[in-house]
Amino acid sequence: MSIAVCPGSFDPVTFGHIDIISRASKIFDKVIVLVSINPYKEASFTVSERVNMLKAVTEGIDNVVIDAYDGLLADYTRKQGASAIVKGLRAVSDFEYEFQMALANKKLYNDAETIFFTTTSENMYLSSSVVKQIASLGGDITGFVPDEILETITNRLNKGVQ
């Protein structure tokens, strides 16, 4: 069985994330979408909220499971018996950071390969940061996040700016 881990902060999950997860699910027998807990990043949503949002938007993808972890990605990947780490890339600037992480993960766990999926053109600009900024200023994020989680995100982030 081929297993891939698709890590991220997912704070919040966007259509860009869903695209990468969906595409990975067509290649691997099992895709573990991992909410990675980064103590150096301040999150807008709790880990359980992010897990629940991911469960809601991946409900129809049978071979996707959602989990959370606060340790090294390489250790988690090893424990799961995964052979791949799937990461999405929007731009060259993403690649520089992700390439470093891929090399570090390979050094820590040689049995997993990092596989990069390039984003679709309609999602190139899309990030959780963009969604948070638009929502916090009262903007409409309908085209950026799935309907199942739109209200959750809007209620949390919309500060009532007129």
The correct answer on CATH 3.30.470.10 for the domain covering 3-125 is no
* 87 in catalytic set: no
Using a cut of 0.85, tell me whether the model's pTM lies above it: yes
Decide if 17 is catalytic. Answer: yes
Catalytic residue (choose from 55, 78, 90, 156): 90
Among candidate residues 9, 17, 30, 44, the one labeled active-site is 17
What token pair was written down for 134?
A: 């638009």
128 carries an active-site annotation: yes
Q: Is there a contact between 50 and 13 (Cβ–Cβ < 8 Å)?
A: yes
41 in catalytic set: yes
DSSP output for 44-93: SS-HHHHHHHHHHHSTT-TTEEEEEE-S-HHHHHHHHT-SEEEEEE-SHH
Instruction: Give me the tens of pLDDT residue by residue for the chain, a chain 162 residues long.
Output: 999 999 999 999 999 999 999 999 999 999 999 999 988 888 999 999 999 999 999 999 999 999 999 999 999 999 999 999 999 998 877 888 899 999 999 999 999 999 999 999 888 888 999 999 999 999 999 999 999 999 999 999 986 544
